[in-house]
Amino acid sequence: MQYKIDKGVRSENVILDIRNLSLDYVMPDQNIHAVIDLKLVARMGKITALVGESGSGKSTVALAVMGIQDKNAIISNGEIYLAGTDVLSLPKKDKRSYISNRVGIIFQDPIDSLNPLLTIGEQLVETVLIHEKITKNQARTIALNQLLAVSLPQPEELMKKYPFMLSGGMCQRVMIAIASVFRPLLLIADEPTTALDVTIQAQILHHLDSMRKRDGTAILLITHDLGVVAEIADDVCIMKDGHIVESGTVDDIFYNPQHVHTRQLLAATL
Amino acid sequence: MEVLAETLNIRKSYEKQNLFSKKKEKVPAVNGVSLKIQKGCSVGLVGESGSGKSTLGRMMAGLETPTEGQVLFRGQSISNISLRKMRPLRRNIQMIFQNSSSVFDPSYTIGESIAEVIKNSEKVSKKECLGKIETILEQVGLDTSYAQRYPKELSGGQRQRANIARALVLHPEFVVCDEPVSSLDYSLRKQVLTLLNDLRNKFGITYLFITHDLNCVPYVCDIMAIMYAGKIVEQIDLKNNSMQNTLHPYTSLLFSCIPAKVPAERKKCTIESIIDTTVIPDSNHCCRFFLRCPHYTERCINEEPLLKEVANGHFVACHIV
Ligand SMILES: Nc1ncnc2c1ncn2[C@@H]1O[C@H](COP(=O)(O)OP(=O)(O)OP(=O)(O)O)[C@@H](O)[C@H]1O
Ligand SMILES: Nc1ncnc2c1ncn2[C@@H]1O[C@H](COP(=O)(O)OP(=O)(O)O)[C@@H](O)[C@H]1O
Ligand code: SF4
Ligand SMILES: [Mg+2]
Ligand SMILES: [Mg+2]
């Protein structure tokens, strides 16, 4: 076994530790440096917000952690420690299952990320069966409980529905139900509420908050909305042009911003 | 003051296939709205997804015909008029859509798309046309070289500016903006709102500004109207009243959901009343908010509340106000 392991981080409840990550997109005429020497830590039971303007590289970081970056992406440097093991050092055959057993992800557009041809129930049961060797009936029970846990009413009925029959907010809660069905150590939420209106946003934030409190999930919350950050984040990393320009506790960032870009972002809130 | 656009108790229903039977049901998207928009007095229309904002906006822009009721522009009905009669009005009524990428034909340059709009409503020489395009691009803060670019070569914010340029090039009097900033990130959002404001002052445009973001409203609007389940439930003149004085329980719910500005103002996540948004009773003889309302009484279940004026320029439809 030559995996790179760092046991030291466990004592500090560090679930995700990205060290000096650099990632380039290789294009015919040039290389785009989308992530440059990035350092980021997400802790158990805490919400770490990754904040930046569009195009700053936030989603690229999320995809790299999941190991599902685009084909033309090259990781030129760095380590991504997930629960103490550098996933970049894992052989390809182990990598996929190592990551998917520990990390769940939800995307900005919930309707696009559900399979339109399968009912909500089929998708949930399938996800449960991938992760655990149990019978279909047992999986169904887990799935039902999961829907109740995200406060979706009438879960029995809901299981029979197709994604297009749900509102955006319900879809996003189903996504959270699916992403958290196997109690991931880490949940990556990439702009989970950008497409939703304020009342539904409040519901989703409430669920993220209870996930970290109840299950101790570490949450990496990607957003450009500083209101959301002020509302629920513990730690904040400000990203610009592939770099983390400032990171700190939520209070540091709001009450004592150091970097000029952080101040600009704060000034741009309405 | 002069009334620019007005709706007289308009309704719009869409047919929707029932998924479990062969029947088609009529779903009311807009359910009886009377709204007067005065010249120079922009209205912010706020409400959650599916409340009927876009449908109302499209009818006021003359892009869709109401099932019942009339839309008037300068006192003239635009709801059932021929295309020929609509044409001279068209240049004065424009719409800016949420999704700027679907507005532009990908095979046209930005300049060609804007030229199309100009040529549709006036006879101009090539040179004049070009002049207009360059002027409006500069006014929305885009370099004139962007006229030669294709839509996909612009970032989201730049494309939204081009979208605004296209809608405003003829200096319309009335512009319906449907979520013009929702797809933009925060720094761009502020830029675009400032731009809409400048253009309003420069050209005397009146907006119907549709949004689900309450924070945007005081930036560009003089009046705020709150829409719930196809109806306006509260309307408040922001010149005479403070935005904080709103009274409808649904408006309070919207305000309570706005995230904190700074960590010290965090709410302790008390969201009992934010139960599911899909539960709207389909009766017209009750308050359609009662299933979600923390204050409902017997009366709310049996009688529909109507808009009444509670203060100068402040209207509320609720039995307990
Ligand atoms: N062309 C259509 N055919 C059928 N139903 C429609 C159509 N357009 C709108 N609806 C329905 O009418 C209702 C109101 O829609 P509308 O788009 O006006 O709401 P909205 O407040 O603008 O929502 P959003 O914020 O999601 O855009 C919804 O239930 C919607 O599904
Ligand atoms: N597949 C790709 N090929 C080339 N460039 C890409 C690709 N995906 C993203 N990029 C570029 O990388 C940068 C960061 O993108 P992204 O991670 O999507 O940022 P964000 O999520 O903050 O919007 C942008 O400049 C974007 O154009
Ligand atoms: S009329 Fe009744 S149910 Fe409706 S908002 Fe007012 S108090 Fe609530
Ligand atoms: Mg992104
Ligand atoms: Mg809409």
The structural domains of chain A, with segments of one domain joined by +, span 1-102+186-270, 112-183
Instruction: For residue B105, report the distance from its CA to the centre of ligand 5, in Å.
Output: 21
- Label residue A153 by pLDDT band (50, 70, 90): confident
> In angstroms, rounded to a whole number, what is the distance separating the alpha carbons of residues B126 and B242?
49
pLDDT score for B20: 59
Mean of all residue pLDDT scores within chain A: 89
Q: B260 and B214: one domain?
A: yes
Q: B41 and B162: one domain?
A: no
- For residue A33, give the 3-state DSSP assignment: strand
pLDDT score for B275: 54
* Cα four-point dihedral sign B181, A174, A239, A91: negative
Instruction: For residue B282, report the distance from its CA to the centre of ligand 1, in Å.
Output: 16
Digit-coded pLDDT (tens) for A183-235: 899 999 998 887 777 888 888 888 899 889 988 999 999 998 899 999 999 99
Q: B181 and B257: one domain?
A: yes
For residue A258, give both structure tokens. Answer: 């150091």
> In angstroms, rounded to a whole number, what is the distance separating the alpha carbons of residues B62 and B76?
12
Cβ of B305 less than 6 Å from ligand 3: yes
Q: B121 and B180: one domain?
A: no
pLDDT score for B273: 46
Q: B178 and B302: one domain?
A: yes
Q: B151 and B211: one domain?
A: no
* Cα four-point dihedral sign B278, A224, A179, B267: negative
| For ligand 3, atom 6: residue with the closest CA | B318
Which of B155, B171, B187 is at the close of a domain? B171
CA A12-A16-A20 angle, 5° bins:
105
- For residue B142, give the 3-state DSSP assignment: coil
Whether B226 is in a domain gets the answer yes
For residue B86, give both structure tokens. Answer: 């609509």
Whether B245 is in a domain gets the answer yes
Residues A36 and A60 sit within 8 Å (Cβ to Cβ): no
Q: B135 and B254: one domain?
A: no
Ligand 1 atom closest to the CA of B57, numbered from 1: 18
Digit-coded pLDDT (tens) for A172-197: 888 888 888 888 999 999 988 877 77
> In angstroms, rounded to a whole number, what is the distance separating the alpha carbons of residues A159 and B237?
45
Distance from CA of A147 to the nearest CA of B (A): 14
For residue A207, give both structure tokens. Answer: 């669920």
Which of B137, B171, B205 is at the close of a domain? B171
Is B262 close to A265, i.e. CB distance below 8 A?
A: no
Domain that holds residue B177: 3-92+172-315
- The ipTM of this complex is 0.77
Q: Which of B188, B256, B274 sits opposite A203 (nearest CB)?
A: B274
Instruction: For residue B293, report the distance from its CA to the centre of ligand 3, in Å.
Output: 6
Is A231 close to B266, i.e. CB distance below 8 A?
A: yes
Q: B73 and B219: one domain?
A: yes
Number of Cβ pairs < 8 A linking chain A and chain B: 100
pLDDT score for B18: 61
CATH of the domain at B282: 3.40.50.300
> In angstroms, rounded to a whole number, what is the distance separating the alpha carbons of residues A236 and B263?
12
| Residues across chain B | 321
> Which residue in A has a C-alpha nearest to residue B211's C-alpha?
A197
Distance from CA of B258 to the nearest CA of A (A): 6
Which of B138, B171, B204 is at the close of a domain? B171
Helices assigned H by DSSP within B19-95: 53-60, 83-90
pLDDT score for B208: 97
**Third-level CATH fold of A1-102+186-270:** Rossmann fold (3.40.50)
Top pLDDT among A57 and B23 is at A57
Instruction: For residue B100, report the distance from its CA to the centre of ligand 5, in Å.
Output: 13
> Which residue in A has a C-alpha nearest to residue B217's C-alpha?
A270
Is A197 close to B219, i.e. CB distance below 8 A?
A: no
Q: B80 and B180: one domain?
A: yes
Q: Which of B54, B226, B233 to mutate to test the pocket of ligand 1 (most atoms within 8 A of CB)?
A: B54
For residue A37, give both structure tokens. Answer: 């020497």
Q: B228 and B305: one domain?
A: yes
Average the pLDDT over A77-101 and give the result.
93
Residues B52 and B230 sit within 8 Å (Cβ to Cβ): yes
Give Cβ neighbours of residue A256 (< 8 Å, ≥ 6 apart).
none
Give Cβ neighbours of residue B100 (< 8 Å, ≥ 6 apart).
B156, B159, B160, B162, B163, B183
Q: State the residue for tokens 């120079």.
A: B40
Whether B139 is in a domain gets the answer yes
Tell me which H or E stretch contains A221. strand A218-223
In a mutagenesis test of the B interface, which of A46, A47, A51, A54 is the best target, namely the one with the most B β-carbons within 10 Å?
A54
Distance from CA of A121 to the nearest CA of B (A): 17
The count of domains in chain B is 2
Q: Which of A55, A169, A200 sits opposite B155 (nearest CB)?
A: A55
pLDDT score for B157: 74
Give Cβ neighbours of residue A196 (< 8 Å, ≥ 6 apart).
A168, A169, A172, A204, B49
**Sheet architecture: strand order including A73-82:** A31-43, A14-26, A73-82, A85-86
Give Cβ neighbours of residue A163 (< 8 Å, ≥ 6 apart).
A111, A114, A115, A116, A120, A171, A174
Between the alpha carbon of residue A238 and those of residues A60, A82, A208, A248, A261, the distances in Å are: 15, 21, 20, 9, 8
- For residue B300, give the 3-state DSSP assignment: helix
In a mutagenesis test of the B interface, which of A162, A197, A234 is the best target, namely the one with the most B β-carbons within 10 Å?
A197
Instruction: Compute mean pLDDT per 10 residues along chain B, 321 residues long, and list them.
Output: 93 76 77 95 91 93 93 91 82 85 87 92 91 92 90 80 91 92 77 88 93 89 95 95 93 88 76 57 86 90 94 95 88
Q: B32 and B64: one domain?
A: yes
Q: B202 and B61: one domain?
A: yes
> In angstroms, rounded to a whole number, what is the distance separating the alpha carbons of residues A205 and A211?
10
pLDDT score for B51: 87
Tell me which H or E stretch contains B25. strand B24-38
CA B29-B35-B37 angle, 5° bins:
130
Whether B320 is in a domain gets the answer no
Whether B220 is in a domain gets the answer yes
Whether B24 is in a domain gets the answer yes
Is A228 close to B261, i.e. CB distance below 8 A?
A: no
